[in-house]
Amino acid sequence: MPTWPIPDGYRFAGVVSRLRAEPDRRDLALIVSDRPAACAGVFTQNRVAAAPVHLCRQRLPRPDARGVVICSGNANACTGEQGFQDACRMAQIVARGIGCPEEQILVASTGVIGRPLPMPILEAGIPRAVEELRHTSEGVENVARAILTTDTVIKVSDRVLSLGNHLLGIAKGAAMIGPNLATMLAFLMSDAAVRLDDLQTILRRAVDRSFNRISVEGHTSTNDTVLLLANGSGPALSGPGLAEFAAAVEDVCIELAQAIARDAEGAQHLITIQVEGCQDEAEAAQIAKTVAQSALVKTAIYGADPNWGRIVSAAGYAGVPFDESELSLWLGDLLMYRQGTPIPFDAASASNYLRQHREITLRLKLSRGSGSCTFWTCDLTPEYVRLNADYTT
Amino acid sequence: MPTWPIPDGYRFAGVVSRLRAEPDRRDLALIVSDRPAACAGVFTQNRVAAAPVHLCRQRLPRPDARGVVICSGNANACTGEQGFQDACRMAQIVARGIGCPEEQILVASTGVIGRPLPMPILEAGIPRAVEELRHTSEGVENVARAILTTDTVIKVSDRVLSLGNHLLGIAKGAAMIGPNLATMLAFLMSDAAVRLDDLQTILRRAVDRSFNRISVEGHTSTNDTVLLLANGSGPALSGPGLAEFAAAVEDVCIELAQAIARDAEGAQHLITIQVEGCQDEAEAAQIAKTVAQSALVKTAIYGADPNWGRIVSAAGYAGVPFDESELSLWLGDLLMYRQGTPIPFDAASASNYLRQHREITLRLKLSRGSGSCTFWTCDLTPEYVRLNADYTT
């Protein structure tokens, strides 16, 4: 079992509640901070938001969060007023178990949309999770495992800061991944002391450069939630210490985002898309996202087909008014298109590059300015279609 | 062989030039008007546009078009200055063959991006096409067949107007179909007399409600071209006659657009998406397009899975600021979600509806106003992925 440096004052549990049909599958997770933690959150931009997202939006940001309870297998989305009451009840059971006001508990869910939560299962399961809370790597792994849906691997990332503080991130996500968050959940815990407004600013920026820069199929979920908790006491970080903390949060978010794209449903390639030479970062992101969401680009890479016209033409409909004569494209190190003119290349070696590497890079360059962006996506495979053709029934 | 009422003064040819590897496959088409025709055009909005699109944009609109030459198998896109010269040369050969200035000839292409046109093949093929021009249904069918790529059926639609004039439309398209035109080509010929500015207005509006309302995978092609020719002499249509003509153009465009979505690569369902109760038509189209482009919606319908949460959640990220409590959804006649609350339904009969019908309807209703839109798409199948994983190599 992997071990992680665990931030001080946090305990973790992931249990089998039987929300899911599989008898041995962990599906209910709990993270508790033994002392009040500053907590910031970033959520889905979908107009149709799940009940736990509404709950977290009401309760965050706050200086005194004590825990997060997460269930997997049921999204508690499109469930109306009852769904909101059920999310509140989940928090209430945790609050009673650890002894705190219920407003200090946050909730997240992931799974099928539109089904009522089976509350008797959660009424029984949450107290068991409270009993199993541990300040151990096993606890962390159980949380990481209990929040998965169609993911095949757990996703954990950590950093140790120079002052001795720890940062630990746990995430899930394999589909319904659009670039404005997705059915992805991520929880970052630190024992650093950080002011609440700094925490929110740092998280917003880190999410923009990580979870908002991945796409599986571009479908923005109803449940996306990223929470960042910092439970340190004493003087809050500032100056270089705060900058180091912000960089660590961004690093952990990027590592978790890459892990999601790599583990995407049916994916055989992690595709890194680098766009350079734009007027600003937003323009570069717009082109990168459009290429990342092209089913024709993604199927070509699955087929190890260096069909670069699909990449160039996807850039062309991104809504950025560039001129074709300034566009160049590299596949890995191979220049395929230079300033609007195709470059003869060896199709067999380009195809081999795609066939032999699980992680590949596309680089697009314009000459409009110095704005750039890196974006991650995956290929589109028959397995993705098969998995999603019968997910609920 | 089907027969069509053929507009007066037009001749058609589709020949085997051997642009394509298959020995008997027609791949070069020619449409000629024996008298000057008013001609309007609408083209791809991709910043990376194919050489024939640049040529048509330079030459249109014009009152005296004489013909269109179309090759299939090579897009002549991303081919630099040489590609533009090659497109001009195609027009020149036609002009010499029928005896007119080369500016009166338009050009279109469809196929693989980024490869130079094999001009010797076209130098030999175009004169043969000129020789084979016929004012017959067989000529029309040969054109319809010669412009296909991965399409499995020809796409022809026609109307007879009350004054006795004819309107005939021929189209192709099966993938790289985004809602801003796609690798779709369509040519509409009429023997009515229509003023050039009326023609352009009528075509623009018809395209917005037909070819701009279909999506296969949302990838906007470099080659999209829709041309409308009217070669009638005498007084131009006006009043009710012009309105009837405009309605016929819109009908023919919608019929051809539906045929494209129905014949999409690997598709097993034609999906009609109706959105109602929006502030305006554009808002309704934005929601419809977002649902139409969701891979999760499309795979669920392929799998006959009534997973309506995917539909509702796609509407939610369309960028329209509606409130979840005003949203309702029907699958066929079955109400699944009413004003933000799920309605219990029989999953087996919903699944049967999807399994037993090749053409299905999703209806989404809001309460923001009276704007509505109809949009067409198809399901996403493993066959689509297979077809696109090895299209060039």
**Per-domain residue ranges of chain A:** 10-262, 270-389
pLDDT at residue B233, rounded to an integer: 87
Instruction: Give contacts of B 295-324 with A, CB under 8 A.
Output: 295-296, 299-300, 302-310, 312-317, 320-324
Q: How far is A296 from chain B (nearest CA, A)?
A: 7
Give the pLDDT of residue B199. Answer: 94
B178 or B213: whose pLDDT is higher? B213
- Strands (E) across chain A are located at 10-15, 28-43, 62-74, 105-112, 155-160, 166-172, 185-190, 214-215, 225-230, 270-278, 328-331, 334-338, 341-342, 359-365, 371-378
Least confident of B192-196, B200-204, B221-225, B336-340: B221-225
B49: chain A residues, CB-CB within 8 Å:
316, 324
pLDDT (0 to 100) of residue A176: 65
Comparing CB atoms, the residue among A48, A294, A340 nearest residue B313 is A48
A152 burial type by CB count under 10 A (0-12 exposed, 13-18 middle, 19+ buried): exposed
Is the domain defined by B270-389 classed in CATH 3.10.20.340?
A: yes
User: In what helix (H) or strand (E) does residue A201 lie, and over which residues does it extend?
Assistant: helix A196-208
Is it the case that residue B392 has pLDDT exceeding 70? Answer: no
Amino acid letter, residue B96: R
Contacts of A310 in chain B (CB under 8 A): 113, 176, 219
Q: What is the mean pLDDT of residues A338-342?
A: 88
Is the distance from CB of B302 to CB of B379 less than 8 angstroms? yes
Closest CA to A77 of B347, B340, B303, B296: B340
Q: What is the pLDDT of residues B67-87, one digit of tens each?
A: 999 999 999 988 888 999 999
- Whether residue A217 and residue B306 make contact (CB cut-off 8 A), yes or no, is no
Confidence of residue B177 (pLDDT cuts 50, 70, 90): low
Statement: residue A264 has pLDDT above 50: yes
Query: Who among A299, A315, A317 is closest to B385 (CB)?
Result: A299
Report the distance separating Cα B385 and Cα B381, nearest Å: 7
Q: How far apart are the first and last CA of chain B?
A: 34
Distance (Å) from the C-alpha of residue B169 to the closest C-alpha of chain A? 27
Total residue count of chain B as it appears in this document:
393
| pLDDT band (50, 70, 90) for residue B175 | low
Q: In this predicted model, what pLDDT tens digit does every residue of B305-324 receive, in sequence order?
A: 888 888 988 898 888 999 88
Spatial CA neighbour of A192 closest among A8, A3, A381, A387: A8
pLDDT at A37: 94
**In the predicted structure, residue A173 carries a pLDDT above the cut 90:** no
pLDDT of residue B385: 84
Beta-bridge partners for A272: A361, A376
Q: Name the pLDDT band for A386 (thresholds 50, 70, 90).
A: confident
Half-sphere exposure of A148 (CA within 13 A, CB side): 21
Interface check B183 vs A, CB under 8 A: no
Q: Quote the pLDDT of residue A175.
A: 66
pLDDT at B393: 45
Test A300 with B386 for CB contact under 8 angstroms: no
A341 touches B at CB < 8 Å: yes
Helix axes A295-302, A308-316, angle to 10 degrees: 160
Among the listed residues B117, B118, B123, the one whose alpha carbon sits nearest the alpha carbon of residue B79 = B117
- Chain B interface test: which of A43, A44, A45, A47 (most B C-beta within 10 Å): A47
Q: Is B205 exposed, middle or buried (0-12, 13-18, 19+ CB in 10 A)?
A: middle
Please tell me the distance from the alpha carbon of residue B390 to that of residue A307, in angstroms, as a whole number.
Answer: 9
Contacts B329 to A, Cβ<8 Å: none
| Residue B208 confidence class, pLDDT cut points 50, 70, 90 | confident
3-class DSSP assignment, residue B87 = helix
The Cα-based distances of B61 to A122, B88, B224 in angstroms read: 67, 17, 16
Whether the CA torsion B98, B103, B105, B108 is positive or negative: it is positive
Residue B174 is predicted with a pLDDT of 72
d(CA A137, CA A6) in angstroms, rounded, equals 7
SS3 A208: helix
pLDDT of residue A199: 94
Phi-psi group of A282: left, alpha or beta (phi > 0 → left; psi -120 to 50 → alpha; rest → beta): alpha
Q: Could you give the residue ranges of the DSSP H alpha helices within A26-148? A: 51-59, 80-98, 119-131, 137-146
Give the gap in angstroms from C-alpha A318 to the nearest C-alpha of chain B. Answer: 8
8 Å CB contact of B178 and A317: yes
Query: Which of B77, B5, B111 minimizes the C-alpha distance to A341?
Result: B77
According to the model, what pLDDT value does residue B389 have? Answer: 82
Contact A321 B294 (CB under 8 A): no
Q: A285-295 pLDDT, tens per residue?
A: 999 999 998 88
Q: Give the residue, B112 or B183, on which the prediction is more confident.
A: B112
**Cα–Cα distance measured from residue B385 to residue A266, given in angstroms and rounded to the nearest whole number:** 12
Q: Cβ of A316 and B75 within 8 Å?
A: no
Residue of A183, A224, A311, A313 to mutate when probing chain B, most B C-beta within 10 A: A313
pLDDT (average), residues A56-71? 95
CA atoms of B131 and A201, how far apart (whole Å): 71
Asked if A340's CB is within 8 angstroms of B78's CB, the reply is yes
Sign of CA dihedral A109, A110, A116, A117: negative
The predicted structure's pLDDT at residue A356? 92
Distance CA A5, CA A197 (A): 26
Residue numbers of B between 114 and 173 with CB closer than 8 Å to A: 114-115
Binary contact (B307, A392; C-beta < 8 A): yes
For residue A44, the model assigns a pLDDT of 83
> What does the DSSP 8-state code read for residue A5?
P
| Chain A: residue whose CA lies nearest to B222 | A313
| Max CA separation in chain A (angstroms) | 69
> B303 and A390: CB-CB below 8 Å?
yes
Residue B179, pLDDT above cutoff 70: no
CA-to-CA distance for B265 and B278, rounded, in angstroms? Answer: 31
CATH homologous superfamily, domain B10-262: L-amino peptidase D-ALA esterase/amidase (3.60.70.12)
The two tokens of residue B171 are 């189209």
Per-residue model confidence as pLDDT tens digits over B329-383: 999 999 999 998 888 888 898 999 999 999 999 999 999 999 999 999 999 888 8
Mean pLDDT of chain B: 90
pLDDT band at A307 (very low <50, low <70, confident <90, very high): confident
The whole-number average pLDDT for the span A207-224 is: 79
Taking residues B62-68, what's their average pLDDT?
94
Alpha-helix runs per DSSP H in chain B? 51-59, 80-98, 119-131, 137-146, 196-208, 239-262, 281-292, 295-302, 308-316, 347-356, 382-389
> Does residue A362 surpass a pLDDT of 70?
yes
Q: What is the pLDDT of residues A72-83, one digit of tens each?
A: 999 998 888 899
Average confidence score pLDDT of chain A: 90
- Mean pLDDT of the region A356-373: 95
Nearest residue of B to residue A115, measured between CA atoms: B342
**Has residue B154 got a pLDDT over 60?**
yes
The answer, yes or no, to whether residue A393 has pLDDT greater than 50, is no
Q: What is the DSSP letter of B136?
A: S
Question: Do the Cβ atoms of B316 and A385 come within 8 Å?
Answer: no
Q: How far apart are CA B310 and CA B290, in angstroms?
A: 11
Q: Residue A181: is its pLDDT beyond 50? A: no
| Cβ contacts of A79 on chain B, cutoff 8 Å | 342
| pLDDT value for A240 | 93
In B363-382, the residues whose Cβ lies within 8 Å of chain A are: 380-382
- Min Cα distance A210 → chain B (Å) is 19
Task: Give contacts of B334 with chain A, Cβ < 8 Å.
Answer: none
The residue-averaged pLDDT of A189-201 equals 93
**Stronger pLDDT, B265 or B281, i.e. the higher one:** B281
Query: pLDDT over 90 for what percent of chain A?
Result: 60
Contact between B393 and A49 using a beta-carbon 8 Å cutoff? no
Buried b (16+ CB within 10 A) or exposed e, B68-77: bbbbbbbbbb
Q: How confident is the model at residue A179, as a pLDDT? A: 38
pLDDT average, residue stretch A171-177: 74
The answer on pLDDT for B39 being more than 80 is yes
Active site (annotated) includes residue B290: no
In this prediction, residue B129 carries a pLDDT of: 98
Residue B176 has pLDDT above 80, yes or no: no
Q: What is the pLDDT of residues A6-29, one digit of tens each?
A: 999 999 999 999 999 888 999 999
**What phi-psi label fits residue B114: left (phi over 0), alpha (psi between -120 and 50 degrees) or beta?**
left
Nearby residues of A346 by Cβ (< 8 Å), 6 or more positions away: none
A44, A110, A149, A183: the active-site residue:
A183
Nearest-neighbour CA in chain A from B300: distance (Å): 5
Instruction: Read off the pTM.
Output: 0.78
Helix axes A239-262, A196-208, angle to 10 degrees: 40
A246 touches chain B (CB under 8 A): no
In a mutagenesis test of the A interface, which of B44, B45, B47, B352 is the best target, namely the one with the most A β-carbons within 10 Å?
B47
Nearest to B170 by CA among B105, B253, B232: B253
Predicted confidence (pLDDT) per residue in A245-258, tens digit: 999 999 999 988 88
Q: What angle do CA B248, B249, B252 make, to 5 degrees?
A: 85
Instruction: Give the model's confidence band at A392: pLDDT under 50 very low, under 70 low, under 90 confident, else very high.
Output: low
Nearest CA in chain B to A382: B382
| Cβ B273 vs Cβ B292: under 8 Å | yes
